[in-house]
Structure 1
Amino acid sequence: MARRRRDLHVGIVGAGIGGVMASIAMAHAGCTVTVLEAASQLGEIGAGIQMVTPNVARLLIKYGVDKAIGKDLVRFDEFNLRRKDGTKVGHTFIKQVEDATGFPWWLVHRHHLHTGLVDVARKRGVNLRINSRVVQLQQQPDGKVFVTTEHKHTYTFDLLVGSDGIQSVVRNTLFPDVKPRPPNGNCAYRAIVPYDEVRKDPLTRELVEDKNGNLVKTMEVWMAPTGYIISYPLSDCKDFNMVLNHFQEKPVDCVEEVSLEEVKDQYKGYDPRIKRAIDMIKPPISRWPLLVTGPLDSWSNAEKNVVLIGDACHSMVNHMAQGAATSMEDGAFLAQCLGAVVDGRLSISDAVAVHEKCRMPKASYKQQLSFLNGWLWLLPDGPAADARDRTMKGELEGRVSMRSANLYGDPTTVLECYEYDAEAHARDGIAAWLNAGRPVRDATSTVERLEAEKIANWFLPEGHKFPIRPRM
């Protein structure tokens, strides 16, 4: 018997990177999507950088966002980990990561990423509403959600998605006692210097050029117990971006403007090349908090028709550059579940339940991974830092390491984090849910579909993949 398709109107609160990515994927899945944004214009406010690691590059490519961004997506060649004096202790060829995952690793200015997402969302028919700050949510007797904005506009949705960031109105409504917090005094300055200035200075030139004067595109990290610096190119190599990690005695919970002298004081003993690049920074300069939300016991209300995604439910420290990536994964995963609602396989409450069951552990993993990577970069000088650096020695010698403290190139992290396919995970989660909660296995071999994908099918051409034939 043919399944009956249903109309599904989804409201998304917040038009940031995660919310707009979700709107694109949900429109593609057959939903009618309205996005309510509090600001008076569309655009990302906040830290101006983003790493598009392979786990989300696959999403940008699928939905055509990569073409909308164009040359402002920067491919880079290598990642280098250094002691604060510039001594290289770890190394990853980015092409090796790309070859292992099958997708590129891009660097992009957050504005360019957001603009590309908005462009694609509009082309897919998403209704993007600015000046629409949500002030009230109400459950309706028919199971729908009634939303009121501060300008008294009202909307009724089958499902409401809270993608409104760290200070989420939707989360505050569902879980008023949850407060994002800085786990310690660690925080970050962020700054961009024109690439041309870096290339003109004889001292900093070698950060961006080879000995023949050719442009080089690398990501560099200088590690020290007092803080690390990470640098990389943005905007078609017009901008040299720096994230300058450091500690404050009192935990920072809001953005603060600081002086250039304060920034210089934090990095007095570092590599002279990066110190000179810091001298090129032009005010204003801001200190950004690193706030963590959760892990929460639930991302949804009791009725399962309001659900959180992104920083609203799992904000994380920035040491793996996975905050926005994880938000985009959430939206793509949830969209697959809602596609199963549209085609009649799942109810809305089941779709939300599948989303939580599968995505909550993954987001918690990303939060832990991010914190641990920062901890590794900030180890005190001495036996601990020396042991860390020894794990990366093979990388410098061109050998393949089975394990490494360089999590940007460690084989386990690459496969768990960067090869991850949120949409495939969703399809597997849906199949398991429809199979009474049991993983889908082959009837004769007992091999699970997910394991077949990870172990065998990732390299096999179509027609040769391991067949999963569930018992009927």
Structure 2
Amino acid sequence: MPPQLSILIVGAGLSGLAAAIQCALSGHSVTVLEAARELAEIGAGLQLTPNATRLLQSWAVYPLIHAPCEPATCTVQDYRGAVLAHEDGFAENCRRKYGAPFADCHRVDLQQALVKRARELGVQVVLGARVCGLDFDLALEDREVGEDDGRTQVQVKVDDGRIWEVDLVVAADGLWSACRSVLLGRRDAPLPTGDLAYRIVLREEQIAELDPRLRDMVGTPGVRFWIGPDAHVVAYSMRGGSMYNVVLLVPDDLEEGVAKVEGSTAEMRALFEGWDPMCVAYLLPLPIHYSTFANGADARLTQLLSRVDKVDKWKLMHREELPSWVNAQSNLVLIGDACHPMLPYLAQGANSSIEDGAVLGLLLSPSHNPKFTSASQLSATLQLFQTLRKARGEAIARETFKQRKDFHMPDGKEREERDRVFAGWLGKKEELEKSKVEFPSRWTCPVVQPWLYGYDAVQEVEGAAGR
């Protein structure tokens, strides 16, 4: 019989729920502890890329997501109105190249779909359970006489006095991970990146107030970027076009130690005054197409922001790379934002976290990893997990900073050279796809996009396990 572990996952975010589903499918007893008392509708939109959606499909989760939008187009636009890059049939192209969809959805819709599937598989999801104590050296009482494989269990305490004793703790407690500090033996706070985000969700009644052409844009799903000096904007439809997600990325002006505050809509609009103008009164020596509204209509970005009645400012944080994601006793492993948080500039925070959960659960399945035939092999299996995931997760995190550089260039020679690269490939999707050039937008880069979207967790595990 394959070994059955008792696994406790700290955190019911995307990485924790992904790990719960795959570990349950691998035959283990899984409990998820979540500090929040309810999985409320918080957060905003997120973009699901094929490296994650192929997993969601295999778990029968993707059909449970409420009205995901597969974008028909992907457009990068200069803050002064120039279309720098554009791809029609974007979602269709993703399915063709990677065999899985690219989709935009509300974060809570994905979380609820994951929770539903996890519970169907027998996972216990316990809300209102904040972990306050971890003891990694609990002796195994059911060990047979004379057997000593060096393993210990973990005792997990929550703040209301409940206790669990398990074989493995999976720390999926996010950016502000307490388990990370336990692993390091010291308090370890996130570090500021120098950027902050205004996160906006336009509701159906706000969309109804838009110019008819803007309503059509929202109702026809597409991913749109505006890029400019020290800032950029990303916007896309979700829930079948009934909501529009807008994220504004700008320099951080929050005080040290402040992670989130209510923002000023007037201040927000002032930061983007003059972006995406109605008309362009100058020419650049480049074959760049300018996209404008006629008949005196407001510029798209200006009009979108005019409908915002409330906004929060979120400081964007990151973490230094850890020497190890696994503790000395090999009964604690970190996944997701607890070990490799990343800027949102490639939409890979959620997607790489889902990858983490899948790879961990697959490695704990003898049918995918023939080397895992006994609980005594847990230590070696966690080391293999770290080998497979650490380099990729940290490399993606570094790549997000490179995307920030290319999207936030100030006016000058470097930006002009970037725009020449954009202009040279505008309207040449097939040629770009076949090339090996480093493209300024990694969303359609022929080098970076296949590396991100083409990742297959099952193939990764089975290849490493020698299947």
In the aligned structure 2, how far is the partner of 1:426 from the partner of 1:86? 45
Q: Which residue of 1 aligns with 2:346?
A: 320
Structure 2 CA distance for aligned equivalents of residues 189 and 73 of structure 1:
22
AA aligned to 1:265 is: A
AA of the residue aligned to 1:279: S
The answer to whether structure 1 residue 261 and structure 2 residue 266 are counterparts is: yes
Change (3 A) 1:198 1:385: farther
Residue 55, structure 1, aligned to residue 62, structure 2: no
Q: Per-residue deviation at 1:215?
A: 4.2
214-223 or 186-195, larger mean C-alpha shift = 214-223
Name 1:465's counterpart in structure 2. Answer: none
- Say whether 1:354 aligns with 2:384: yes
User: Which amino acid is the alignment partner of residue 265 of structure 2?
Assistant: L
Q: Quick check: 1:27–1:33 contact (8 Å CA) kept in 2? A: yes
2:216 aligned counterpart, secondary structure:
coil
Which shifted more, 309-318 or 193-202?
A: 193-202
Deviation at 1:14, TM superposition (A): 0.5
Task: Provide the TM-score with structure 1 as the length reference.
Answer: 0.85
Question: Does residue 73 in structure 1 map to residue 68 in structure 2?
Answer: yes
Q: 1:291 aligns with which of 317, 326, 330?
A: 317
Q: What is the one-letter code of the residue matched to 1:14?
A: G
Look up the match of 2:237.
Answer: 233
- Aligned residue-pair number: 420
> Is structure 2 residue 193 aligned with structure 1 residue 180?
no
CA distance in 1, matches of 2:56, 2:99: 14
Q: Is the 8 A contact 1:7 1:342 kept in 2?
A: no
Query: In the alignment, does 2:31 pair up with 1:14?
Result: no
Segments of 5+ residues of structure 2 without an aligned counterpart are 141-151, 277-298
Contact 2:75 2:83 in 1 (8 A): yes
Counterpart CA distance in 2 for 1:43 and 1:421 is 31
Deviation of the 1:395 alpha carbon = 4.0
- Name the residue aligned to 1:307: 333
What TM-score do you get using the length of structure 2 for normalisation? Answer: 0.86
- Mapped to 2, the partners of 1:427 and 1:295 lie a distance apart of 26
1:375 CA displacement: 1.4
Q: Is residue 279 from structure 1 mapped to residue 314 from structure 2 by the alignment? A: no
Q: Where in structure 2 are the equivalents of 1:32-431 lying within 5 Å?
A: 32-43=29-40, 45=42, 47-70=43-66, 72-93=67-88, 94=90, 95-138=92-135, 139-142=137-140, 143-175=152-184, 176-184=186-194, 186-195=195-204, 197-198=206-207, 200-202=209-211, 205-209=212-216, 215-249=219-253, 253-271=258-276, 272-283=299-310, 285-340=311-366, 343-344=373-374, 347-399=377-429, 400-401=431-432, 402=435, 403=437, 404-431=439-466
CA contact 1:293–1:313 (8 Å) conserved in 2:
yes
CA distance 1:414–1:251, change in 2 (3 Å)? farther
Q: Is the 8 Å Cα contact of residues 69 and 116 (structure 1) preserved in structure 2?
A: yes
- Tell me, yes or no, if the aligned pair for 1:97 and 1:409 is still in contact at 8 Å: no
Measure, in 2, the Cα distance between the counterparts of 1:319 and 1:369. Answer: 9
Q: Structure 1 residues 227, 154: closer, same or farther in 2, change over 3 A?
A: same
What is the alpha-carbon distance in structure 1 between the residues aligned to residue 128 and residue 452 of structure 2?
A: 36
Partner of 1:463: none
d(CA) in 1 for partners of 2:115, 2:351: 16
Q: Tell me, yes or no, if the aligned pair for 1:16 and 1:44 is still in contact at 8 Å.
A: no
What is the one-letter code of the residue matched to 1:15? A
- For 1:390 and 1:197, the matched residues in 2 are separated by 37
Task: Tell me the CA shift for residue 208 of structure 1.
Answer: 4.6
Secondary structure at the aligned position of 1:333 is classed as: helix
The 3 A distance-change label for structure 1 pair 151 and 345 is closer
Q: Which secondary structure does the structure 1 equivalent of 2:244 belong to?
A: strand
User: Deviation string for 1:175-217 (max 9, x for gaps)?
Assistant: 1243211122x11101111356446533xx434527xxx9422
Any idea what the Cα deviations from partners look like across 1:218-243, whole Å, max 9, x if unmatched? 11111111311111101111011100
- Please, which moves more after superposition, 352-361 or 387-396? 387-396
Does the CA-based 8 Å contact 1:43-1:115 persist in structure 2? no
Structure 1 gap ranges (5+): 432-439, 441-472
Q: Tell me which residue corresponds to 1:449.
A: none
Instruction: Mark the CA change 1:208 to 1:385 in structure 2 (over 3 Å): closer, same or farther.
Output: farther
Look up the SS of the partner of 1:319 in the other structure. Answer: helix
- TM-superposed CA distance for 1:333, in Å, is 0.4
Letter aligned with residue 460 of structure 2 = H
Question: In the superposition, relative to structure 1, how do residues 109 and 385 fare at CA in structure 2: closer, same or farther (>3 Å)?
Answer: same
**Bigger Cα displacement from structure 2, 228-237 vs 380-389:** 380-389
Distance between the aligned counterparts of 1:426 and 1:90, measured in 2?
A: 35
Cα distance in structure 2, aligned partners of 1:195 and 1:375: 34
Looking at structure 2, the residues matched to 395 and 59 of structure 1 have their Cα atoms a distance apart, in angstroms, of: 32
Q: Which amino acid aligns with 1:42?
A: L
Task: Give the Cα–Cα distance (whole angstroms) in 1 for the partners of residues 255 and 447 of structure 2.
Answer: 32
Pairwise CA distance, 1:44: 6.2
Distance 1:365 1:251, change over 3 A: farther
The one-letter amino acid of 2:300's match is: R
Question: Aligned partners of 1:408, 1:346: CA distance in 2, in Å?
Answer: 42
C-alpha deviations, 1:101-142, integer Å up to 9, x for none? 111100000011111111101101101111111111102123
- CA RMSD of superposed structures (Å): 1.9
Give the aligned residue type for 2:343. Answer: V
Q: Distance in 2 between matches of 1:324 and 1:257?
A: 24
Give 1:422 shift.
1.9
Measure how far apart 1:65 and its partner are.
0.7
Deviation for aligned residue 1:412? 1.2
SS of the residue corresponding to residue 308 of structure 2 reads: coil
Aligned partner of residue 53 in structure 2, secondary structure: helix
Q: Does the 8 Å contact 1:208/1:217 carry over to 2?
A: no
